[in-house]
Chains A and B, each alone.
Chain A
Amino acid sequence: MDMTGEFRISAPRDVVWQALNSPDALRACIPGCEALEKTSDNGFSATVMQKIGPVKARFNGEVQLENINAPESYTIRGEGKGGVAGFAKGGADVRLAEDGGDTVLTYTVNAQIGGKLAALGSRLIESTSKKLAAKFFENFQTYITEGGAGRMS
């Protein structure tokens, strides 16, 4: 699956960059995130519960940040396993551009999804991914606006 998107965040680029590298911010903003820990300078491990219609699956994943060019861009590379549901692996190039006091974030995702989820839910993967991305950035904007407190939905 290939997916691209763009979101405008009302905050300076430095603030956005810091939040994107903060385990607290990511844990609060990733939809369904149950746990997220820093495992090395540029590595995270996470547990995420996803509910899509009748399907409920818990994914355990490892993520590495590469090609770090602060505060402009990085590449996220990782793999998540959801037991019998399947797996997802791939990467995303993330780029931050300044636009007045705002930051425009663009991303390009290339991911492979396998297992039963892919076989049975292929018609839903792209729209579900877009919906989750939109939810993440909505949470992210709220998180930054409210000064980084609390757990988003």
Chain B
Amino acid sequence: MKYVTEFRNADLARAVSAEISTLVDPGRHYKLMEVCGGHTHTIYRHGIKDLLPDQIELVHGPGCPVCVLPMGRVDEGIEIAERPEVIFTCFGDMMRVPGSKGNLLEVKAGGADIRMVYSPLDALRIARENPDREVVFYAIGFETTAPSTALTLQRARKENIQNFTVFCNHVTIVPPVRALLDSPDLRLDAFIGPGHVSTVIGCRPYEFMPRDYGKPCVVTGFEPLDLMQSVLMLMRQLDEGRCEVENQYVRAVPWEGNLKALRSMAEVFELRPYFEWRGLGFIAQSALKLSEAYTDFDAELRFAVPGVRVADPKACQCGEVLKGVLKPHECRVFGTSCTPEHPLGALMVSSEGACAAYYNFGRKAEERVGARE
């Protein structure tokens, strides 16, 4: 793993930090949104906020796929998992995501056969090994994980594995960003574009951001120096009055994306007319379902999932917090009916969500602690 240490070099970080400072207009407040949950993790884990001038605020966006999953979809997954004939498989961080009556970890404790996998191919292997059981893979994630689900389904069809289905909850990144940009009370200056998603979709899908909304976007990698360099690139654009899509993550992201992966996705998935996002409501064409050709593998059809909607509590104000209109403590349910143990909104689900971080650490979650000793 030696190759990552170069991207975590504190001396280089200081140099980039100094360069960013020269571009800051002291009278201005800059809000940059990192769309992707992976970036939020990097920012938090390495303490990047301490390396940025006070005027630059990083706003955490809607890009954590487990956090944005609405309760209804979790409940439906749980309903499938509780069937005696089913082996239910999912990624590890899905286990704790709360539905209206509990999470998968609790359902497993109640006797359901739920197994954590690292890849959908592991789920397919379980199906192969257990021909008398129904194996369901709970697919989540943006365009980052969707191709692996697509490839798994292509393989399942090729091998004619009939006891394997996918409960598809894949979402796409552009529609929620567009929804945010469409809201009149949005206060953002620029976007730190997602890296992993872009290895698949490339940089072109973000061109509407500068063109239609006047917001620069830099597609960014996941090491702390990637983030720092991306902030620098955005600050340069703002300073020079440029507004465009740039690619910081050139070592992994081709401008046109991964055509092979996109072809697989196009064969296996189609867009849903609309999909619900926890805390954000319904967003048109923001999620994927299995295409006509793959209906045999669709868990929603095989188990006649009713598509029940569990309303986010009316009081939940994740959308406002996400847009930067409200601070976490200003939300009506913060700390009372919405807590890290019993989260209602997306921002309380992950420990790195803005609300969970504020709940655990108060102002310390956002304050700059200052120079290291």
Q: Do A and B come from one complex?
A: no
Q: Which residues of B contact A (CB under 8 A)?
A: none
